[in-house]
Amino acid sequence: CDRKHFYLPRVNGVNLEILPYDESRLALGSFHIEEPTGTDTSAIEDMEMIVIPAVAFDRRGNRVGRGKGYYDRLLADSRARKVGVAYDFQLVDEIDAEPHDVRVDVVITENQHVIIRRR
């Protein structure tokens, strides 16, 4: 049985870095959120699934973040399954998206599981 590995993002300038999760190696970082410390960054291309936060998602997989584009830059070349996690009230009818916006493949709320169909 393969062990699952968990990683967390860390803000580095205008980009996110990915580091292994280790509860003993967390420090208060950008936006007053705990982030991993250390130098052992991992490549986003090695990730099989990525859980993505947002202010809101729609049923086409579009998302509204905090407006800085951190996740769009991070995920631009990722082939991993992208899972948005939110509360029901964060799932809205439609979000205006731009060409550079990266969509999620699935949105999970406490009462819904929305699989986005790709064309």
Tens of pLDDT along 18-38? Answer: 999 999 999 998 888 999 999
More confident residue, 69 or 104: 104
Per-position DSSP letters for 47-105, written without gaps between them: -SEEEE--SEEETTS-EE-SSS-HHHHHHTT--SEEEEE--GGGEES-----TTPPPPS
pTM of the model: 0.87
Residue 4 has pLDDT above 90, yes or no: no
Tell whether the model's pLDDT for residue 1 goes beyond 80. no
Tokens matching residue 52? 């993505």
Residue ranges and CATH numbers for the domains of the chain are 1-42 (no CATH), 47-119 (3.40.50.10420)
Specify the 3-state DSSP secondary structure of 45.
Answer: helix
- List, for residues 60-84, the tens digit of each pLDDT value: 999 998 878 899 999 988 999 999 9
